[in-house]
Amino acid sequence: MKNLIEIPELEIQHQDVVTDILSQSITGELIGMSNFASLAGVIDDVHEKMEAVEHANCERQHAEGYLALCKKYNLEPVINLNGHYWKSVRECFLKYAQKKDFIACLVIQEVMLECFAVSMYHDVGTALKNEIGEFFLTISKEEEEHIEHSIDILKEEMAKDPEAFTRKVEEIHKDCMFILAEWTASTDLKGHCGVCKGDCMKNSLPIINLSITSLRGNAMNLYMRTLNKIGLPGQKTLEWVINLPA
């Protein structure tokens, strides 16, 4: 029987790199979903519990959106929550979730991971001038709202005890941002991520006019701006970022 549904096509040379990007995005959203689900299970405050479930559902919807795009374009993503970097990020989050540290979880998920997601989705969306790109831009906007929401909460925490809060964020930064920095370095510092299909996709990004240097740089820029919006001293946060692996 003739297939009546027309399958849109990506330019052939873009297929592998776009598949890898979608694989990372789906895996990342599922990690986010899992993180919020874990948080919902451990925190006591009813309102925070409900909010965590709502966030988990939001991340699930994003993952489903990316999966739907893969199906539509006949792409086969790799979803691997046990790849080195994603697994490390998840373990980092769980360390704080098990301590019922809602603020630390918020910093990891809504500041560190979301800054990378918002910035990288935006850059990919701008580079891919097609339906997939449009979708990345839409999700980037939605995730941006998550950052703004968390800034308000974290500003209040900062106001309570600026020095203690700064020390706390520094500790979380060293735990989580070191993983993200190793992952996004121009040369792999910890081997294959376990999500890209073949070789590391960093080498293929120029095919769609992107580079890991600009993706990482823009993400770090948004991260530093977000920390500054929370009220953390710029001189400190600059030193934190300078000390990251590169």
Partner 1 sequence: MGNQPPRLKFGVIGHQDNWKKIVDFVNSIRITDGNPELSQAKIKEVYGYFPPTKLFDIQINSKVSGFVEGYYIESFLSPDELGHSHIWNNLKKTREACEKAAQLGVDVVALGGFTSIILESGGANLQAIQGTKFTTGNTLTAALIADSLVKACQKWNQPLKDSTLLIIGSTGDIGSACVRYFSNKVKKILLTARNPAPLHQQEEQLKSEKANCLASTHVSELLPAADLIICVASSVLPENYLDLLQSHAIICDAGYPKNLNSENVKPSQKIYAGGMCLVEEGYCFSPEHFQKNIYEFPLPNISHGCTMESVVLALEGQSLAFSKGRGNINLENMAYILAAAAKHGIVTAPFFNSKGLIN
Residues that bind partner 1 (CB under 8 A): 186, 213, 216-218, 220-221, 224-225, 228, 234-235, 237-239, 241-243, 246
Shortest gap between Cβ of 125 and partner 1 (angstroms)?
A: 19
Tell me the DSSP string of 180-210: HHHHHSSS-SS---S-SSSS-GGGGGGGGT-
Shortest gap between Cβ of 150 and partner 1 (angstroms)?
A: 19
Query: Which of 3, 235 has the CB closer to partner 1?
Result: 235
The distance of Cα 62 from the centroid of its chain, to the nearest Å, equals 12
Q: Are 206 and 196 spatial neighbours (Cβ–Cβ below 8 Å)?
A: no
Which candidate, 201, 210, 214, places its Cα nearest to that of 15?
201
Q: Are 100 and 43 spatial neighbours (Cβ–Cβ below 8 Å)?
A: yes
Cα gap 70→88, rounded to integer Å? 26
Shortest gap between Cβ of 230 and partner 1 (angstroms)?
A: 14
Q: Would you call 46 exposed, middle or buried from its count of C-beta atoms within 10 A (0-12, 13-18, 19+)?
A: exposed
Shortest gap between Cβ of 218 and partner 1 (angstroms)?
A: 7
Query: Which of 154, 220 has the CB closer to partner 1?
Result: 220
Query: Which of 133, 245 has the CB closer to partner 1?
Result: 245
Query: Which of 116, 135 has the CB closer to partner 1?
Result: 116
Shortest gap between Cβ of 72 and partner 1 (angstroms)?
A: 34
Query: Which of 132, 220 has the CB closer to partner 1?
Result: 220
Residues whose CB is less than 8 angstroms from the CB of residue 116 and which lie 6 or more positions away in sequence, other chains included = 180, 184, 219, 223
